[in-house]
Amino acid sequence: MRSPRTFTAIPEILILTVAVGVATSSAYALPPGPEGAPPPPPAATGIVVPPVAQGQVKRMLTNPYGEVDGLRLTDGTIVKFPPHMSNALADTVKPGQMVRVFGRPEARDAVKADVIVNLATSQTLFDQPPAVDGRTPLPPHLRAQSLQVQKVEGRIDTVLTGPRGEANGVILVDGSIVRFPPESLRLSMQQGASFAASGLGTSNAYGTSLEAISVGTSLATLQPIYDRIP
């Protein structure tokens, strides 16, 4: 399987010390420049690094809570981004637009994005820490109350992986996303294989995403992942 592409011939460059600018920034995305102009590089000095991916956005990826936490490009590259940046990412990038990504490559055609540049609008989105607004986050067991039972069935289009290449999810041909504990399944995880799952998640405008409780090759053959089913 191919590795994420590296692009060395680019009209602008990203500076490694961009994190300095990110830490002091108060906005999610930089405003677009003049029409037709490429996005300017951050005003910093340091080591020049090339982008880790570039291409057209095929779809927005979501986690089981329905938050946008990444992109899938038309060449198959998975671009990961923090879920607390969900609204900013959805506002900055749309399917069909070209993006340039700076960050770190991972295994199996996946990259962890630090900066995403929308080449269509010249907007630049930086990964930033969650905002501190004084509100106490919901504990996991209360947040999970928002999830609904979801069932999906189809053929595997893409296998999702963790930082070390461990399988921890799949995208089906219809765009449904299933997450599960790393390397917890004994099913075939090859592209084109039949796959079904039942679990807790969300369906919204971006599609269905769930955390699997039971999996199988069809909904009729589901088997529990865990010893104890909630």
pTM above 0.85, yes or no: no
Neighbours of 1 (CB within 10 A): 9
How do 98-105 and 29-30 pair as beta strands? Answer: unpaired
pLDDT tens digit at each of 230 positions of the chain:
444 444 433 344 343 334 333 333 334 455 555 555 555 555 455 667 899 999 999 999 999 999 999 999 999 999 999 999 999 999 999 999 999 999 999 987 999 999 999 999 999 999 999 877 767 777 877 778 889 999 999 999 999 999 888 999 999 999 999 999 987 888 888 999 999 999 999 999 999 999 999 999 999 999 999 886 55
Supply 98's token pair. 């070209």
Residues in a beta bridge with 152: 197
Q: Could you tell me the domains of the chain?
A: 14-126 (2.40.50), 140-224 (2.40.50)
* 72 phi/psi in degrees, rounded to 5: -115, 125
From the number of C-beta atoms within 10 Å of its C-beta (0-12, 13-18, 19+), residue 8 rates as exposed
